[in-house]
Structure 1
Amino acid sequence: MNARSDHSAAVPAVPAAPAASGEELVRHRAGFARAGYAGPTRYRRMPAVAAQFLTAQPMLVVGAADAEGRVWAGLLTGRPGFLQAEPAGGSPDDDAPDTVAIQARPVPGDPLAEVLAAPAEVGSIAVEPARRRRMRMNGRATPTDAGLRLTLAQVFSNCPKYIQTRDFTFAQPPAAGTVTALRGSALTMGQQLDIGTADTFFIATADRGGQPDASHRGGNPGFVRVLGPDRILFPDYRGNAMFSTLGNLQENPAAGLLFVDWETGTTLQLTGTARTDWDPAHIAEVPGAERLVEFTVLQVVELRGAHPLRWTEPGYSRFNPPAA
């Protein structure tokens, strides 16, 4: 790994607030501005069908900012049932839960382990690759004896078009103290290769108020382009015009990326800054792109064999544009 000190990585200050939200500004620039439209509906409580979906999932991606304002995306895993929606007010007859009990915490070495050892604002996304479904949940996480408790502020689903189908199994969990953590301030050649052949990754961002969000990105292998040891480029494909991620980047450039090795349980976490490239000439060079996002790496954490969750070979989404 690169020998430069991790502590030298500084996150730019959040810019002054514009008159409109970042989502509104991006939506307008992308040509989706409509009178009276304020974006997709976000709920504070979870519908019953969403609670059932959550219970069946073996993983949750979470995003949060550390004490220096760097945003990270991390992975929580467990056998189905480790995520449980809890009724509002504690009434078993209430079918609109407003909290989620999570029987897991970040593994040792994950940058979010220290962050989530105390109450923290988080964004999260649960994805079901086998059925191409996903749900995002943002709120405040507090540690519990069993893991975490997420008090919901926003619940919403969004476009599933670029999810690759996979089924999951579980391997033997890694023994305590056996997970190797590699840290640095730039990508190794091996990490660059892993990113350049990935078909899926997750991105965490935060708005100007510090509320994080986590989202999914997918495409054919090669859709993420490594421009160097500290620069990554990826396309923003046509979705449902939510623009939560790009809206946050309009307000706050800090971002975190998570790549998962579906065969080994290794995770690769990057934190840095991102900007949206609207240049038509650049966009025209990438099939299917409507915008481009350039990510600058500030810190890297690779946790080898960190999770027992395993996934089968992918069935690529028919919506994926060609990668080159």
Structure 2
Amino acid sequence: MNHKEELLSKFNESQGNYQEKRSCMDDWKEDFKKLETEIQNLIASFHKHYESSELTEDFSSDIRGKLENRREGIRLSVKSASRLLKKLAPEKPLTDVEKEFIANEKLAKEILAAREFSPIKEAAEEQNEFVQGEIENEISAAISETGAINKENTVSQKKQNEKNSVVEEVSEGNKSDLTIIQDAIQINDGILIELKEHLQSAENRFFKFIEKGVAPVLDGLYSGKAYALDLIEQLEKNNNEELNQTKQWLTIYDTLMNEIEELFARFSIKLYAPERGSFFDENKQEPIGVIEAADLEDEQIKEVVRYGLHFEKEMTNESSYLLRPAQVIVVKNKKVEVKESCEGNEQ
């Protein structure tokens, strides 16, 4: 493989890299447009469910007072959801590269423009068209393992014979050709670096919005649901006649949480909550407290305080990416010291 072939091989490789990154950037742009619509729908749905949760006189004053506290918590969650669009900032588009990436056709034109020809006047335009076609064929030709560049004839044998000298110049490559190709590679490499940075920026912006924007709304509802379950447990113990009615009203937590979970699923994000009694995994979980539990062993999970989040798309050669760990309370039982008593004969 001569120097020119090596340069063309590198140039062709950059074409594939660019197309891959360009496709990823276009996907991110579409995802952010889709996310804007989904957030608007989520906000509207949250407001609708909150308005329909107004408490009636069917509840006793005691139960109504407890549910009013729960409704106030839901109101705060709805308020937090209402701010999501502002946090997403759809009016600020993703940063993209502004320079034009040099593709095969453009490189061929630049090489052709730099060459000097002395054809017959009436054949000049035809020859230029032929030479550009030959250059494009050379640039886009498949490179075999041995490095040879395969070319296809695009004209009849007659035209080929008439322009042998021009084709030989294309095959060999001159100093001007090499300089133009090297410059194109340098420009394209700079664009690829810039595009990679913009892709990282889009990714960071998306993850930050999910983790710092949407997830806290879910966390508030999850925490509120825990108090709701305590209320239900209390009513069950007392055989309260308002149990079923209260249970029905408290389904608003599941309704709102399910809507967030469905939004996450549309963007390949999955909630992660380890099972109670499973052993602590430092790679996926964050301990925020310890507790004693007679029915569990040390380092088993007693309670999940906050959901973890998984991004279920391939990143850095991993099938999924842990966006944030689950927060858990871990068991740590006190060790009981057993004292052995020795009985002996008194002397």
Question: Do the structures match in fold with TM over 0.5?
Answer: no
Greater fraction of residues in strand = 1
Greater fraction of residues in helix = 2
Structure number with bigger Rg: 2
Q: Which of the pair has the greater relative contact order for Cα pairs under 8 Å at 6+ separation?
A: 1
